[in-house]
Amino acid sequence: MHQLTIAEIIRGLRDRQFSSVEITSHLLERIQQLDSHYNSFITVTGEQALQQAAAADARLAQGDAPALCGVPIAHKDIFCTTGVRTSCGSKMLDNFVPPYDATVVDNFLHAGAVSLGKTNMDEFAMGSSNESSFYGAVKNPWDPERIPGGSSGGSAAAVAAQLVPGTTASDTGGSIRQPAAMTGTTGLKPTYGRVSRWGMIAFASSLDQGGPIARSAEDAALMLSVMAGPDKKDSTCLDRPTQDYSAHLNDSIAGLKIGVPAEYFGKGLDPEVGARVQEALKAYQKLGAELVEISLPHSKLAVPAYYVIAPAEASANLSRFDGVRYGYRCENPADLRDLYMRSRGEGFGEEVKRRILVGSYALSAGYYDAYYNKAQQVRRLIKQDFVDAFQKVDVIMGPTAPNPAFKLGEKNADPVAMYLEDIYTIATNLAGLPGMSLPCGFAHGLPVGLQIIGNYLDEARMLNVAHQYQLATDWHQQTAPVTTPAAQ
């Protein structure tokens, strides 16, 4: 049953081939048997899941089943869940049990989905390898000696290991797409503001966006249809009606204009990864698409601009974790200053502290114009590159990440090497555009991701373009060898 996609589960449940309790129990058992090898879950909510599944079965029997009724999913541990610890991968929130649900969580509850628990992630979503989690690194199901990507590494690994057919995730600079690429899964970061951020713990508020990771574009469309939509509780959430993202999956893509940016195929790209992406582009030509060479001239400025803007916003967002209101509090503080200093010093990990320091520096008087303002100006130029490109093309394609999954520990000593993992994904966040990653083959025996960047609010087309490729190829159906993971 664990091989089934969300679309297949929906059909199976409605045709009474199995019940939600049956598939939920099966996946919970699988998590129990296998996840010690991957560490993709921080919290498994077995009892609650079985209750939700039983309720879903009752609704299915009555014939009033909403879209995802009885379908098991899991949430990245960045989304607040009533009564269930929401740690954001940090010691700081190890004891945080929210009294409310994030809008995304609520949307899935309304759609009848069953949540199996909360998935592992880099601490406060800062990282590209899922090694900065307080709960330990996540292992890539394709090779447990390698990273699954980050920050949504747990969400991606859980789907790749077939512990759950779909997960929620979030993407600030690549955190949905890069782990999807590393694990051979399909991930989608929507247009900024398409999915509510209410109850999704903030990292960099002008960049953060929730989205799904699943096994196919068809499943990602089903999940996005549930996740997306206006939300009065989030003023940055777009006030546009949501769409049925499955409606256009089968449209022909003959005549589609695909922009291929020269900048995404230069130095730093693993040649094997580049070759797989070129093959995917050829497959699109066979489907009737036309390749158009484009240029995104400010691409090389995306990583430096992001690593000023994101830490600046993070330093402000994370100031709320002070040991006073909620979260970690140090033992026996001598006075208020000691309480602040030790609670934050002991509660946050290395990478989070690095970002708070960088961000506070960039925002400080005297440096604000030189760094933060400058980065915002660069951001504008990057956005304009895309606006110009979309005058000529319908979608843009390139690699998701410059290399396949690397070894655990390989880039830990070099933050800049880690930051360069997002070299092809970050610009999309700075511009607020939607992007996807889908599997397009293997390099050095590991999955490679093809990135599709869409125009603003063009998620339906992006999904159509991805689905047509997945009808013609079977890369997304290849599964990780769930056999003898390396000893811990």
Ligand X SMILES: NC(=O)C[C@H](N)C(=O)O
Does residue 310 interact with ligand X by CB under 6 A? Answer: yes
Other C-beta atoms within 10 Å of 55: how many?
A: 16
- b or e along 397-415 (b: 16 or more beta carbons within 10 Å of the residue's beta carbon)? bbbbbbbbbbebeebbeeb
Say which residues have a Cβ less than 8 Å from residue 433's Cβ, sequence separation at least 6: 191, 192, 386, 453, 454, 455, 456
Quote the CA–CA distance of 417 and 439 in Å, as a whole number: 23
Say which residues have a Cβ less than 8 Å from residue 180's Cβ, sequence separation at least 6: 149, 156, 186, 187, 213, 400, 437, 438, 449
From the list 24, 81, 175, 209, which residue makes contact with ligand X (rule: CB under 6 A)?
175
Report helix, strand or coil for 488: coil
| Whether 151 is catalytic | yes
Does residue 218 interact with ligand X by CB under 6 A? Answer: no
Does residue 126 interact with ligand X by CB under 6 A? Answer: yes
- State the minimum distance, in angstroms, from the CB of residue 351 to ligand X: 8
Does residue 459 interact with ligand X by CB under 6 A? Answer: no
Is residue 38 a contact partner of residue 139, using CB atoms and an 8 Å limit?
Answer: yes
- State the minimum distance, in angstroms, from the CB of residue 354 to ligand X: 11
Nearer to ligand X, 193 or 485 (CB): 193
Nearer to ligand X, 143 or 422 (CB): 422
Residue with CB nearest ligand X? 175
Stretch near ligand X under the rule CB under 6 A, chosen from 120-128, 134-142, 277-285, 317-325: 120-128
Query: Among residue numbers 403 through 422, which ones bind ligand X (CB under 6 A)?
Result: 422
Does residue 132 interact with ligand X by CB under 6 A? Answer: no
Stretch near ligand X under the rule CB under 6 A, chosen from 16-24, 107-115, 165-173, 462-470: 165-173
Long-range contacts from 137-141, C-beta under 8 angstroms, 24+ separation:
137/39, 137/408, 138/38, 138/39, 138/40, 139/37, 139/38, 139/39, 139/408, 139/485, 139/486, 140/182, 140/183, 140/405, 140/446, 140/480, 141/38, 141/183, 141/480, 141/481, 141/482, 141/485
- State the minimum distance, in angstroms, from the CB of residue 336 to ligand X: 31
Angle, CA 252 vertex, CA 248 and CA 255 arms, to 5° = 125
- State the minimum distance, in angstroms, from the CB of residue 275 to ligand X: 25
Question: Of 20, 40, 76, 170, which one is the catalytic site residue?
Answer: 76
Question: Of 152, 170, 175, 196, which one is the catalytic site residue?
Answer: 175
Quote the CA–CA distance of 434 and 419 in Å, as a whole number: 20
Nearer to ligand X, 93 or 109 (CB): 93
From the list 127, 154, 347, 485, which residue makes contact with ligand X (rule: CB under 6 A)?
127
Quote the CA–CA distance of 108 and 278 in Å, as a whole number: 37
Q: Which two tokens stand for residue 286?
A: 């066979």
Nearer to ligand X, 179 or 184 (CB): 179
Question: Of 40, 90, 132, 151, which one is the catalytic site residue?
Answer: 151
- b or e along 453-482 (b: 16 or more beta carbons within 10 Å of the residue's beta carbon)? bbbbbbbbbbbbbbbbbbeebebbeeebeb
Strands (E) located in 355-425: 395-399
Stretch near ligand X under the rule CB under 6 A, chosen from 11-19, 73-81, 173-181, 191-199: 173-181
| Whether 175 is catalytic | yes
Nearer to ligand X, 21 or 125 (CB): 125
- Alpha-carbon distance values, 209 to 60, 182, 377, 390, 455 (Å): 32, 20, 22, 21, 16
- State the minimum distance, in angstroms, from the CB of residue 429 to ligand X: 7
Q: Which two tokens stand for residue 363?
A: 């925002």
- State the minimum distance, in angstroms, from the CB of residue 203 to ligand X: 6
Stretch near ligand X under the rule CB under 6 A, chosen from 1-9, 122-130, 222-230, 244-252: 122-130
| Whether 383 is catalytic | no
Does residue 129 interact with ligand X by CB under 6 A? Answer: no
- State the minimum distance, in angstroms, from the CB of residue 404 to ligand X: 16
Quote the CA–CA distance of 406 and 146 in Å, as a whole number: 5
Nearer to ligand X, 211 or 261 (CB): 211
φ/ψ of 364, rounded to 5, equals -75, 150
Does residue 21 interact with ligand X by CB under 6 A? Answer: no
- State the minimum distance, in angstroms, from the CB of residue 209 to ligand X: 9
Nearer to ligand X, 123 or 219 (CB): 123
From the list 120, 167, 172, 451, which residue makes contact with ligand X (rule: CB under 6 A)?
172
Does residue 171 interact with ligand X by CB under 6 A? Answer: yes
Quote the CA–CA distance of 283 and 215 in Å, as a whole number: 20
Strands (E) located in 268-391: 290-294
- State the minimum distance, in angstroms, from the CB of residue 122 to ligand X: 7
Q: How many residues bind ligand X (CB under 6 A)?
A: 13
Does residue 174 interact with ligand X by CB under 6 A? Answer: yes
Query: Among residue numbers 252 through 291, which ones bind ligand X (CB under 6 A)?
Result: none
Nearest to 124 by CA among 180, 77, 85: 77
Nearer to ligand X, 173 or 211 (CB): 173
- State the minimum distance, in angstroms, from the CB of residue 123 to ligand X: 10
Is residue 189 a contact partner of residue 128, using CB atoms and an 8 Å limit?
Answer: no
Which residues form the catalytic set? Answer: 76, 151, 175
Interacting residues with ligand X (CB under 6 A):
125-128, 151, 171-175, 203, 310, 422
